[in-house]
Amino acid sequence: QFVFPVSVCQDPDGNLYVGEYGDRQRVQKFREDGTFVTQFGRHGTAEGEFQRPSAVVWSAGTVYAVDAFNNRIQLFTDDGKFVRVIQLPATSDPLEFPYDLNVRPDGRLFVIENKAARLTVMRPDGTIEGRFGRPSRGLDGFFTPWALTVLSDGRVLVADTGNHRLVELTP
């Protein structure tokens, strides 16, 4: 069934969304009991296609799919219809291998970028609210950051894989 599943999330109805890469670049949707519902995406660079869907998040009826090697975040309906790509302002540096994503209740997105070795906080329209980090072995950045979570008090934890540590950031 799966090739390389790398992300899973659940919606309030219990449905599971699994992002995977390998022979198939896609997101699959299952009922909580494991019954297959649908799949969306395939390998490619066009809208709705993926090159490593490394993170999948469900929020308010929308599936946010991080498309790591295409350096973008795509939005889909929860039944798999493509909605749009989040566009960053032309004056901002583009995303560089985004690997993980957290969508807050207020709609803000927290994105960890593996290649850029930074955390980006943005609004759903792509407006950048802030960035932290650069490729570094020190306290000013990360080395191959892989995942993040935002705690209930707003602190951000980053899995800084190459530095063999978790980094806590306080807003």
- 46, pLDDT greater than 90: yes
Amino acid at 144: T
Quote the pTM value: 0.95
Residue 149 CA to residue 59 CA, distance in Å, equals 15
What is residue 23's predicted lDDT score, i.e. its pLDDT? 86
Q: Over the chain, what is the mean pLDDT?
A: 96
Question: pLDDT digit string (tens) for 5-40?
Answer: 999 999 999 999 999 999 889 999 999 999 999 999
What is residue 1's predicted lDDT score, i.e. its pLDDT? 80
Contact 40, 24 (CB under 8 A): no
Cβ neighbours for 33, distance < 8 A, ≥ 6 positions apart: none
